[in-house]
Amino acid sequence: MDVDEKYFKNITKRERAIFEGAITMGALFHQFVGTPVSIKNVETLEKSIADAMTLQPCINKVEIKIDREILDKVKNEFDYISLTGEMLDVKVVSDYSDKRAIIRLKFIPELNYPLMFVEEVY
Amino acid sequence: MDVDEKYFKNITKRERAIFEGAITMGALFHQFVGTPVSIKNVETLEKSIADAMTLQPCINKVEIKIDREILDKVKNEFDYISLTGEMLDVKVVSDYSDKRAIIRLKFIPELNYPLMFVEEVY
Amino acid sequence: MDVDEKYFKNITKRERAIFEGAITMGALFHQFVGTPVSIKNVETLEKSIADAMTLQPCINKVEIKIDREILDKVKNEFDYISLTGEMLDVKVVSDYSDKRAIIRLKFIPELNYPLMFVEEVY
Amino acid sequence: MDVDEKYFKNITKRERAIFEGAITMGALFHQFVGTPVSIKNVETLEKSIADAMTLQPCINKVEIKIDREILDKVKNEFDYISLTGEMLDVKVVSDYSDKRAIIRLKFIPELNYPLMFVEEVY
């Protein structure tokens, strides 16, 4: 089956790149929020999140940075916390044909919200 | 802060509707896959998934159907299973300004894959 | 197959009740943390979490309360937040044979941690 | 605060080891089921799941094996699948004081169910 021909001919190539990048960003957030994280596992966690989400359709690269300052400040009996959107800075690079969309997740203090937006598209 | 002005002026209104619908579909899948489900709780689960995901930006409506045939066939000691993508049929209606995108999740047997695509956009 | 005979004869009935309740509490937390929640959907979300987790082996009842004060204080552009452990107060009632364990999840401010413990067992 | 004295004096040391191991197994399953996985990322995913879950209270070690045979058989357009309980074989080693519980998750074909049980406790 030609998936693109059957399911995606109603949108442009640029829209397809945006679409696939947005799916992956929503997926990443809701799959991994809640995961136990500390300074000890933060690097392997970042790498495995990037590797997993890069498997999704059209995803060329995922860059993810979990906030070390928040991890350093953890002061509880157990020395780890649950991953939250506030701690995440993510770029998902989504390519379809000759179009590329870079989707960003970033916590915006003025909004008190981890905003997802299209950082670049071309 | 004018969020649209600051973060979204590089994409069209139609692209924005697609973008927000796609985020919500990726989020829905990865938040709820794994949830215990049987004939007993399937209706409350469908309703609560729809209600939660409708909170997200631009989402006007979420229609979700979990496959009763698969639930009926569950034959194990414990009478429930974990929700999978194979069991889901979802429509996310995403509106931005005068544009609407309807994002669909549907398991496609020929692809052996729960495909997300733009069913309609106008 | 007699599951209890084959897999559980190395632990006591009381231990079994604790074991199954603990699994369900860990499951509940990590399945639902991250879900979009506001005053609008909090009741259907609580109900559906309880209904889903009650399907698990030995679980007789799940009582769950999401903190309305935190929801009322949400002041962002989007009027909802992602569910966190801080907002949860949960009791899981787990029965095996004539033994009952009540497992509790409660955010303990002095610990800055959502603690899971055995509230009662008899 | 002495957490053990305040919250755990109603259970034995052996029960505590079982309790903490069971929480972590329920947590692991419901946090990571749904994650995209293929032969490409399976090793980093296994490692990061083990590292994250070892942060939880009393957890000494987590051994996890994702079924390569299932991954090898994936034949779809997209060359990856969502992680399911059927693919998981996990041991969680939970120590409290001089007691150890080894909790196992294993898919049991006769039960058609990913069973969690106490493999050893001493």
Domains, chain B, in order of start with CATH, read 11-121 (3.30.1300.20)
What is the residue-wise DSSP string for B81-118?
Answer: EE--GGGEEEEEEEEETTEEEEEEEEEETTTTEEEEEE
Here the ipTM equals 0.97
pLDDT of residue D77: 78
Q: Measuring CA to CA, how many Å separate C41 from each of A61, C66, D44? A: 35, 11, 37
pLDDT of residue A86: 95
Q: Which residues of A51-74 are buried (b: 16+ CB within 10 A; e: fewer)?
A: bbbbbbbbbeebebebeeeebeee
Q: Between B and C, how many CB-CB pairs are < 8 A? A: 72
| pTM (whole model) above 0.90 | yes
Residue type, B72: D
State whether the Cα torsion A38-A43-A48-A50 is positive or negative. positive
In this predicted structure, the answer to whether residue D75 has a pLDDT above a threshold of 90 is no
What is the residue-wise DSSP string for C65-114?
Answer: EE-HHHHHT--STTS-EE--GGGEEEEEEEEETTEEEEEEEEEETTTTEE
Residue A110 tokens read as: 């003025």
Give residue A5's pLDDT band: very low, low, confident or very high (50, 70, 90).
Answer: very high
Find, among B72, B67, B100, B102, the residue nearest to B85 by Cα. B67
Q: How far is C60 from chain A (nearest CA, A)?
A: 26
Contact between chains at D18 and C23 (C-beta distance less than 8 A): no
Contact between chains at D84 and B82 (C-beta distance less than 8 A): yes
Q: Which residues of D touch C3 (CB under 8 A)?
A: 111, 115
Q: Which residues of C touch A34 (CB under 8 A)?
A: 29-30, 33-34
Please give the average per-residue pLDDT across D61-66, as a whole number.
Answer: 98
Chain CA centroid to CA D96, Å: 18
Please give the average per-residue pLDDT across C46-70, as a whole number.
Answer: 98
Which residues lie closer than 8 Å to C12 by C-beta, 6 or more apart?
A: none
Please give the average per-residue pLDDT across D93-99, as a whole number.
Answer: 98
| Chain B residues interacting with chain C (CB cutoff of 8 angstroms) | 1, 3, 27, 31-32, 34-38, 40-41, 44-45, 47-49, 51-57, 77-80
Chain A interface mutation, best of B8, B15, B90, B92, highest count of A Cβ atoms under 10 Å: B15
Tally of CB atoms within 10 A around C104: 18
Contact between chains at B19 and A20 (C-beta distance less than 8 A): no
pLDDT digits (tens, 9 = 90+) for B3-43: 999 999 999 999 999 999 999 999 999 999 999 999 999 99
